[in-house]
Amino acid sequence: MAKSSADDLDLRRACDSAIEDPNQNIIISIRVAKTHGIIGKSSKLTRQMAKPRVLALSTKSKGQSTTAFLRVLKYSTGGVLEPAKLYKLKHLSKVEVITNDPSGCTFTLGFDNLRSQSVAPPLWTMRNIDDRNRLLLCILNTCKDVLGRLPKVVGIDVVEMALWAKENRPSVSTQRNVQDGGPVASAVPENELKVNVEKELVSQAEEEDMEALLGTYVMGVGEAEAFSERLKRELQALEAANVHAILESEPLMDEVMQGLESASICVEDMDEWLGIFNVKLRHMREDIESIETRNNKLVMQSVNNKSLIEELDKLLERLRVPSEFAASLTGGSFDEARMLQNVEACEWLTNALHGIEAPNLDPAYANMRAVKEKRAELEKLKSTFVRRASEFLRSYFASLVDFMISDKSYFSQRGQLKRPDHADLRYKCRTYARLLQHLKSLDKNCLGPLRKAYCSSLNLLLRREAREFANELRASTKASRNPTVWLEGSTGSGQNANATDTSTVSDAYAKMLTIFIPLLVDESSFFAHFMCFEVPSLVPPGGIANGNKTGYDDDDNDDDLGIMDIDENDSKSGKTSVELAALNESLQDLLDGIQEDFYAVVDWAYKIDPLRCISMHGITERYLSGQKADAAGFVRRLLGDLEARISRQFSRFVDEACHQIERNERNVRQMGVLSYIPRFATLATRMEQYIQGQSRDLVDQAYTKFVGIMFATLEKIAQTDPKYADMFLLENYAAFQNSLYDLANVVPTLAKFYHQASEAYEQACTRHISMIIYYQFERLFQFARRIEDLMFTVASEEIPFQLGLSKMDLRKMLKSSLSGVDKSIAAMYKKLQKNLTSEELLPSLWDKCKKEFLDKYENFAQLVAKIYPTENIPSVAEMKDLLASM
């Protein structure tokens, strides 16, 4: 066994150093563990973290009085002992060994002078039972010797302590007197104890008498032989005395033997009795074991019964229907003041239904009759409440809308446009938002009729608001009607030049969208949240259309209904798509019919100014691009239908204008620039002014159709009189370019048609000029063409010998064609000027004509120099000077 810390001399010296009082004498010092324990109902000792301490029992003598102390020392940061607490042993009232500690090494010391008796005393835990007994025995002995009394001992038998002290005598404290006369208990080793006992057998006086007696006895050790003989005689005498004593003690031995026999008989009897007692004890032990087994079963049964009662109490508590909730669910009012109680009842009912369903309820309870009956009762409560709540909400929605419809101040009136305000309506509906959420959790099927009732009621209100607003909007908008005939050939050319301003028409349409599109989106979003659709938010980030809710700033536009937001990550895509389809179907019921009032505004605007379809198309496209593809489906379809209707109306205008263009080909012979050419430029300028946002494509498609019909009609008209076709074409293509020059620089589509007209103009100019040149100098250039044709098959030096191409034929041709060439050139200029209606084109055409003539004549001169090198003709320079002088 490990050495006890009570025998640790280094520990005792460390304690002496820590006390620093030479008058105090340490009796015992021992290491302990200090804790603060709490004994709970579980009959187990729960401790805090143990702290190492040293308990030192010391005494201090002053005169005839001795004071005993119990010191508590703790270890400092450096591992050095330092005083922590000091107790006077005279105040020790109780020593209690904690029976709840299985080891039995934990005890407490109760002092009657502590200020706060409500604080539990510290627990001292020893390393083993021997250390505990050694310390407690030392404390008790010190109390008895110093105080003359013993403290109250609890949890350990004093007799047991005495037996332990007897068995462990070497380490039991012994009393010895110190110089000051006070009793001191010290633990001494076994060898020291033996020495002390031996010394105490003979007193000092007896020891001195024995030494004097031995001093008077002469041994005679100096005579060895005599001393040896003496010893032999004494030995023989002693042996003879022993034999004689043995012989004399025979009767005594007989008595001893008789005693041993009687003792043997007693032992045998005792052995028989012990055997009997052993059997009885064995039977008693078996009975005790049987009793303990039955007792353990009874204890276990008691514990199980107690647990069963607790579980049944919990189950009964779960199955109990509170009277206040039952009253709310079966017959309570749905007024706003009672909604909190209704919601609490719904929450309780929902939790109760979930609580008796797996896995919340143990499967062992599921088939119990009480559980089945309670489940049927809860289902009946649920159906009753859902039916009552659904009937109330359907009538509530209808009465709420009927009240608003009956009040004319909610709608636009003559001379006053009224912005729809649903803040009060939504506020009243939000009162029942949580109720709808609980109705959904109780019975999903009940939401379908409620949604239809809400949509049916609110649809009447929205259609009435839109109709009154659209009517007053058209009535309050002042705009003169522009003619729809722009390109009619019989209309005066300046009729549309000063068209009136119709911007108020598109502004009215924009106001209609600005007011109602955000309203419809907000109504869709509110409806989705209010009616518990599990879909993402319907309002796109950043607001409506162009980034904000322009013109519709509802102070209470927050659709937070106080219900849980939908987490898109937790909902499966299939479920979301089903919910979204159901939502769009409900939104169709909610908003259906309102599109007719938008169509009426579009048709009204078209009748006033068809070109306003361009700006309305741009406005609609801007709103449409601001809508999410999967949100507010009806609003997106409404905008798409509006855009399609505007496009159809504009296409109708374009088709009518194209028919106006095509009517020109059925008129009498056309001369000069057609009327629709400059009118198209005016129309294009006006259309460009109306372009907004994404309406460029619409306008470009109209340009393509207009110009295609214009050019096709122009070609058909030109074919009716081939003689003047080229002159007619070049004048109209030139007019097209001149009228669209500025627009073509900024509009790519018109620039493409501008270049197409420019190419057609150049081709018409070339054909017309060639015709005029050949008309005046036909023989000259026909002769040159014959030479060019023969050069492919006949050598150049043989051409002058061909029929009609001799030198004589060349001279005749030159004489007839170039004699009076100045008159021929003048005639060519007059012919060019004769049928030209656009005088501003004459200079450029004459320059082209002169250049073309010089190119042809230069080619002719080169052929003559090659084929007829000896013939002289007017040079190209002379001809150029002649043309320059004209």
Name residues whose C-beta falls within 8 Å of residue 91's C-beta, 6 or more positions apart in sequence.
111, 112, 113
Q: Which helix (H) or strand (E) holds 186?
A: strand 183-187
Q: Residue 751's pLDDT is what?
A: 87
Nearest to 452 by CA among 588, 334, 335, 563: 588
Quick one: residue 239, left, alpha or beta (phi over 0 = left, psi -120 to 50 = alpha)?
A: alpha
Alpha-carbon dihedral 48, 52, 57, 61, rounded to 10 degrees: -110
Q: How is residue 122 written in tokens?
A: 């510290």
pLDDT of residue 216: 56
- The pLDDT value given to residue 196: 39
182-192 tens-digit pLDDT: 443 344 444 43
Q: What is the pLDDT of residue 329?
A: 67
- Tens of pLDDT, residues 384-435: 777 887 888 888 888 888 888 877 666 676 656 778 888 888 888 888 878 7
Taking every pair of Cα atoms in the chain, the longest distance, rounded to a whole number of angstroms, is 210
Structural tokens at position 506: 């598109």
Give the separation between CA 863 and CA 871, rounded to whole angstroms.
Answer: 11
User: Which of 330-344, 469-483, 549-563 is predicted with the least confidence, judged by mean pLDDT?
Assistant: 549-563
- Chain centroid to CA 26: 71
Alpha-carbon distance 81 to 91, whole Å?
Answer: 25
Q: Poorest-confidence range of 24-33, 291-300, 375-384? A: 375-384
The whole-angstrom separation of Cα 696 and Cα 721 is 38
Q: How far is CA 623 from CA 635, 640, 648, 694, 865, in A?
A: 10, 10, 19, 11, 76
DSSP H helical segments within 407-478, as ranges?
A: 423-430, 433-442, 447-476
Q: Which is higher by pLDDT, 13 or 405? A: 13
Domain 6-38+50-168 in CATH 2.30.29.90? The answer is yes
Backbone angles phi, psi at 567, to 5 degrees: -95, 110
More confident position, 570 or 91:
91
- pLDDT above 60 (res 522): yes
Q: 487: pLDDT confidence band, cut at 50, 70 and 90?
A: low
Least-confidence region, from 351-360, 450-459, 477-486, 545-554 = 545-554
Tokens for 208, please give them.
Answer: 């001195």
- Note the pLDDT tens digit of each residue in 204-255: 676 676 667 655 555 555 567 887 888 888 888 888 888 777 777 788 888 8
What pLDDT is stored for residue 296 in this prediction? 92
The tens digit of pLDDT for each residue in 536-548 reads: 665 444 444 444 4
How far apart CA 111 and CA 105 sit, in angstroms, is 20
Q: Using CA atoms, how far apart are residues 578 and 519, in angstroms rounded to an integer?
A: 25
pLDDT recorded at residue 467: 87
DSSP string across 362-388: -HHHHT-HHHHHHHHHHHHHHHHHHHH
Query: What is the pTM for the complete model shown?
Result: 0.54
Q: What pLDDT does 171 receive?
A: 44
The tally of CA atoms less than 13 A away on the side-chain side of residue 512 is 34
**The residue count for the chain:** 886
641 has a pLDDT exceeding 60: yes
Torsion on CA atoms 202, 206, 211, 212, rounded to nearest 10: -170
Check: CB of residue 139 under 8 Å from CB of residue 83: no
Question: DSSP code of 416?
Answer: B
Asked if residues 733 and 761 have their Cβ atoms less than 8 Å apart, the reply is yes
pLDDT band at 519 (very low <50, low <70, confident <90, very high): confident
Helix runs in 487-545, H state only: 503-530
| Torsion angles phi and psi, residue 175, rounded to 5 | -95, 135
Q: Tell me the pLDDT tens digit for each residue of 125-155.
A: 998 988 889 999 899 889 988 888 888 888 8
- Alpha-carbon separation of residue 23 from 16, 17, 18, 20, 193 (angstroms): 10, 13, 13, 9, 26
User: For the residues 648-664, what does the mean pLDDT come to?
Assistant: 84
Once rounded to an integer, what is the mean pLDDT over residues 638-667?
83
Mean pLDDT on 507-518:
87
pLDDT band at 199 (very low <50, low <70, confident <90, very high): very low
Mean pLDDT (the chain) is 76
Query: Do strands 92-97 and 106-111 pair parallel, antiparallel, or not at all (unpaired)?
Result: antiparallel
For residue 462, is pLDDT > 70? Answer: yes
pLDDT digits (tens, 9 = 90+) for 613-624: 888 888 888 888
Instruction: Give the rounded distance of the alpha carbon of 66 from its chain centre.
Output: 78
Q: Dihedral (C-alpha) 90, 91, 93, 96: value to the nearest 10 degrees?
A: -100
Nearest to 676 by CA among 488, 470, 432, 816: 488
Res 443 pLDDT > 90:
no
- Tell me what percent of the residues of the chain surpass a pLDDT of 70: 75
Q: Which helix (H) or strand (E) holds 826?
A: helix 821-834
**What φ, ψ does residue 85 adopt, rounded to 5°?**
-145, 160
Distances (CA, A) of 565 to 120, 555, 560, 784: 54, 22, 9, 92
Contact yes or no for 679/690 (Cβ under 8 A): no
pLDDT at 265: 92
pLDDT band for 37, please (50, 70, 90 cuts): low
Cα distance between residue 510 and residue 477, in whole Å: 13
587 pLDDT above the threshold of 50: yes
Query: In sequence order, what are the residues at sequence separation of 6 or more whose Cβ sits closer than 8 angstroms to the Cβ of residue 501?
Result: 479
| 187: β partners | 173
DSSP character for 484? S
- Locate the domains of the chain by residue range: 6-38+50-168, 275-320, 327-480+504-522, 586-741, 765-885
Q: What number is the average pLDDT over the span 515-543?
A: 74
SS (H, E, C) 559-579: CCCCCCCCCCCCCCHHHHHHH
Is the pLDDT score of 502 beyond 90?
no
10 Å CB burial of residue 646 (0-12, 13-18, 19+) is buried
Element (H, E) at 624: helix 612-625
> pLDDT digit string (tens) for 295-305?
999 999 888 88
Name the range with the highest mean pLDDT among 249-253, 476-480, 559-563.
249-253
Burial class (CB in 10 A: 0-12, 13-18, 19+), 164: middle
Q: Residue 187 in contact with residue 28, Cβ under 8 Å?
A: yes
pLDDT score for 702: 86
Distances from the Cα of 291 to the Cα of 277, 281, 306, 346, 631, angstroms: 20, 15, 22, 55, 78
Residue 479 has pLDDT above 50, yes or no: yes
Q: How far apart are CA 631 and CA 533, in angstroms?
A: 12
Q: Which amino acid is at 177?
A: N
User: Which H or E run contains 401?
Assistant: helix 369-406
| Whether residue 574 has pLDDT greater than 70 | no
DSSP class per residue in 245-311? HHHHTHHHHHHHHHHHHHHHHHHHHHHHHHHHHHHHHHHHHHHHHHHHHHHHHHHHHHHHHHHHHHH
- Rounded CA separation 813/450 (Å): 104
SS3 for 194-218, per residue? HHHHHHHHCCHHHHHHHHHHHHHCC
Measure Cα distances from 696 to 614, 621, 644, 703 in Å.
8, 11, 15, 10
Q: Considering only CA atoms, which of 101, 107, 94 is closest in space to residue 32?
A: 107
Q: 27 or 379, which is more confident?
A: 27
Tell me: the pLDDT tens digits for 111-126?
888 765 666 788 999 9
14-26 average pLDDT score: 86
Backbone angles phi, psi at 721, to 5 degrees: -135, 85
Are 593 and 459 in contact by the 8 Å Cβ rule? The answer is yes
Of 258-262, 448-452, 673-677, which has the strongest mean pLDDT? 258-262
pLDDT for residue 410: 63
Name the DSSP letter for residue 116: -
Q: Residue 789 above 80 pLDDT?
A: no
**pLDDT reported for residue 118:** 62
Query: What does the pLDDT read at residue 267?
Result: 92
**pLDDT(556) > 60:** no
